[in-house]
Amino acid sequence: MDASHYRILVGADGSESSRRAADWAVAEARRRGEAVSLGIVLVNDDPAREEYARETTAEIERRCREAVPQLRVNSEVVGGHPVEGLTRRSTGADLLVLGSRGHGPVADALLGSVSVGVARRTRCPLVVVRGEQDEPREKVVVGVDDSAASDAALEFGFASARERTAELLVIRAVHRKHRREGARDAGGWDLTERLKRWGAWFPEVTARRIDVEEHPVTGLLELARRADLVVVGRRGSGGFSGLMLGSVARSVLHHASCPVAVVPGAAEQD
């Protein structure tokens, strides 16, 4: 893939939610400038609905072209299971975008088994578009833990804040004992130094660290009320351990009041 070119894919199913996902992707493409292309992908597991699937992707493609005429847009319908199809195409993308709800005529709803399945396996960052935002809130939230795997989420958070001219809020769950004793970050992972390093690479971004004692999901959901985007790593340890597994992932994806980005670690994106 051309390093100067940024490719965004949108998973479609014909629902209003997937159209909102396409709108979000168009806005993201507009923020990123000229070297961006947008692909609309509908995974159809029922050959009898082939005509409906093609009409759906064509309609969403037209919607995107009308919004940004100079944007390179294409659409395709592929056969198979949605998780398999979207995961396979994520290897050639820089960002995959899904809606938070879908309906039954084509494949499964995009939130639930499909979005969680894709989040566990995607090779590129995934954004699940949630919430009803009319005005930008100029804040991006990223959840980190004591693992180096959080670097990929931090990088995505810094880049997203820069594109939005937004403040970056970096939330980390800490044990009350560590806060009381002023202990260094566990496992030798110095968040302060990491923030300095990423801040040097993204000097336009103002980053603020927030240590919380409550459950990490509670902190993320609270900050999401005032944010344009919440970013989490797919895997980690400490406060955000297993974020993309089980109830914690479902809580964030089902209840956040803004779009949620799930970022695989750097090694998982190769």
Residue 234 has pLDDT above 80, yes or no: no
- Percentage of the chain with pLDDT > 70? 78
Q: Specify the pLDDT at position 199.
A: 95
6-128 homologous superfamily = HUPs (3.40.50.620)
Give the pLDDT band of residue 268 (cuts 50, 70, 90).
Answer: low
pTM listed for this prediction: 0.87
Cα distance between residue 257 and residue 259, in whole Å = 7
The whole-angstrom separation of Cα 187 and Cα 45 is 45
Q: Which residue has the higher pLDDT, 120 or 222?
A: 222
Q: Are 96 and 118 in contact (CB under 8 A)?
A: yes
- When comparing pLDDT for 37 and 251, which is higher? 37
Q: Which residues contact 254 (CB under 8 A, 6 or more apart)?
A: 111
Work out the mean pLDDT of the chain and round it to a whole number.
Answer: 82
- The predicted pLDDT at position 51 comes to 92
Q: With CA atoms as reference, report the closest residue to 99 among 17, 166, 220.
A: 17
Please give the average per-residue pLDDT across 164-189, as a whole number.
Answer: 68
Question: Where do the domains of the chain lie?
Answer: 6-128, 139-269
Q: For the segment 34-83, what is each residue's pLDDT rounded down to a tens digit? A: 799 999 999 888 888 899 999 999 999 999 999 999 999 999 999 988 88
- pLDDT above 50 (res 1): no
**CATH topology agreement for domains 6-128 and 139-269:** yes
Section 95-116 average pLDDT: 64
CATH topology for the 139-269 domain: Rossmann fold (3.40.50)
